[in-house]
């Protein structure tokens, strides 16, 4: 299955996709205003479209001078 066709990602898949460490990933998943996620039992899942929207909202735009 193509990675872009997946709707949900595990924490490990999210980590690899974003190139983040384990600690930073969990920090972003558990902080207020962090990456939206779903808990199914002990598993944490994230929806691809929600992660993309979250990234867009939190991108760092440099002001043009």
Q: What own/partner pairs with CB < 8 Å and gap ≥ 24 does 45-52 have?
A: 45/8, 45/9, 45/10, 46/8, 46/9, 46/11, 46/14, 47/7, 47/8, 48/4, 48/6, 48/7, 48/8, 48/9, 49/7, 51/9, 51/14, 51/17, 51/18
Residue by residue, pLDDT tens for the chain (65 residues) are 566 679 999 999 999 999 999 999 999 999 999 999 999 999 999 999 999 999 999 988 775 55
Domains annotated on the chain, with CATH: 3-57 (1.10.10)
Task: Output the six-digit token pair for 1.
Answer: 């299955």
Cα R_g (the chain), whole angstroms: 13
pTM to 2 decimal places: 0.82
């Amino acid at each position: 299955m193509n990675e872009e066709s997946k709707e949900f990602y595990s924490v490990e898949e999210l980590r690899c996709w974003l190139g983040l460490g384990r600690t930073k990933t969990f920090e972003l998943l558990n902080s207020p205003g962090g990456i939206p996620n779903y808990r199914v039992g002990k598993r944490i899942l994230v929806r691809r479209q929600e992660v993309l929207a979250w990234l867009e909202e939190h991108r760092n735009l440099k002001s043009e001078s």
